[in-house]
Amino acid sequence: MPARSETEDRSVLTRPAAPPDEVLRYGPASEQVADVRLALGAPAGRPLLVVVHGGFWRPAYDRTHLGPMTEALALAGWSTVAPEYRRVPGRPDLAVEDVHAALRAVAGRADLTGGRRVLLAGHSAGGHLALQAAATAAHAPAGVLALAPVADLRLGQALGLDGDAVAAFLGEDAAARPDLDPARLPAPAAPVRIVHGTGDAVVPVALSESYVRRHLAAALVPVPAGHFAVIDPRAAAWPAVLAVLEHLGRPG
């Protein structure tokens, strides 16, 4: 198992942020809600961004730690929807179904989309869910930004990420669920861009490298950073994240 890096700055996980502009409900379960944060003065036609949080699919981690990120995105002109999802060890389909349901709900909210395209982003385990949804969801996004994603479940299991988090999430061997493994699913029709820190000791960049070897149209942007820097507006990697997002958001 990769050693826990004592140099990883985790302060973004507990940093406060302003409340969202709206909490959208997309299903009957208590977790089936999403925080909506609206940007002021966004460029015309800029896509809406759905951002899926990480935390190795565990119930201890929820969407609130994305507050600093989505607040900074709003200041940069990006309106966001950050869904919560059911995180039950051994029942991975609940999390997958919820991300798909959130995408359907967003697509049905004309007041949010305003006819704009929808981009999907996700960090860590949320990056896994974003890549899985992009390859399989009926309401597939127009583009995907995966930030330090668990992009290869078999490799993640072999490395024993974070105390065997992959096996705990799946409840079985990763080889039994190729339908949930982005590295083994067909390539998404939408453009995929991955930003991953070369110093990431939580989810090594090797997982993203494995994904792009299998999906040649996807692009990996390595940055000299750790795992949490790619969602931290105070980190040196943040401008690179915004630049990749800007590229994905261009029309055409």
Whole-number pLDDT of residue 252:
61
Residue-level pLDDT at 213: 98
Question: What's the chain look like in SS3?
Answer: CCCCCCCCCCHHHCCCCCCCCEEEECCCCCCCEEEEECCCCCCCCCCEEEEECCCCCCCCCCHHHHHHHHHHHHHCCCCEEEECCCCCCCCHHHHHHHHHHHHHHHHCCHHHHCCCCEEEEEECHHHHHHHHHHHHCCCCCCEEEEECCCCCHHHHHHHCHHHHHHHHHHCCCHHHCHHHCCCCCCCCCCCEEEEEECCCCCCCCHHHHHHHHHCCCCEEEEECCCCCHHHCCCCCCHHHHHHHHHHHCCCC
* Mean per-residue pLDDT of the chain: 94
Q: How confident is the model at residue 153 (pLDDT cuts 50, 70, 90)?
A: very high
* pLDDT for res 149: 98
Reply yes or no on whether the pLDDT at 158 is more than 70: yes
Asked if residue 208 has pLDDT above 60, the reply is yes
pLDDT by residue (tens digit) across 59-80?
999 999 999 999 999 999 999 9
pLDDT in tens, 3-18: 344 478 999 999 999 9
Q: Which domains does the chain have, with CATH numbers?
A: 11-248 (3.40.50.1820)
